[in-house]
Amino acid sequence: LQELSLVRGDDGVITATVRADAFCHNMVRSLIGALLFVGDGHRGPDWPGKVLAAGVRDSAVHVVRPHGLTLEEVGYPADELLAARNKEARNRRTLPGASGCETC
């Protein structure tokens, strides 16, 4: 995850920007679900960090419906860097100190 930011526009609509070099299945929908729980007061502001630090999927995190979520851009490195970036992005990654995520 390279960026997760939220901006409320003058119209009250909140725009979330999520950027990463790779995504797990339903990753964006889970991130937004966790943030919605905080935003509506069901969880404290520190809760998403605690879930992430646990290093395992938490059934309390709701995967939101895709309605309202829009993929705006897919970026690729320059042609001469593409093969190396592809290899790097496909490396299995785990959270520091975690034994691995078998369900990612």
**What are 14-70's pLDDT values in tens digits?**
999 999 887 888 999 999 999 999 999 999 999 998 988 887 888 899 999 998 888
Q: Are 16 and 5 in contact (CB under 8 A)?
A: yes
Is 93 a residue whose pLDDT tops 80? no
Is 71 a residue whose pLDDT tops 80? yes
* Centroid of chain to Cα 49: 12
pLDDT of residue 18: 92
Q: What is the mean pLDDT of residues 2-6?
A: 92
Q: Are 64 and 32 in contact (CB under 8 A)?
A: yes
Sign of the C-alpha dihedral computed for residues 37, 7, 95 and 100 taken in this order:
positive
Instruction: Give the 3-state secondary structure of residue 77.
Output: coil
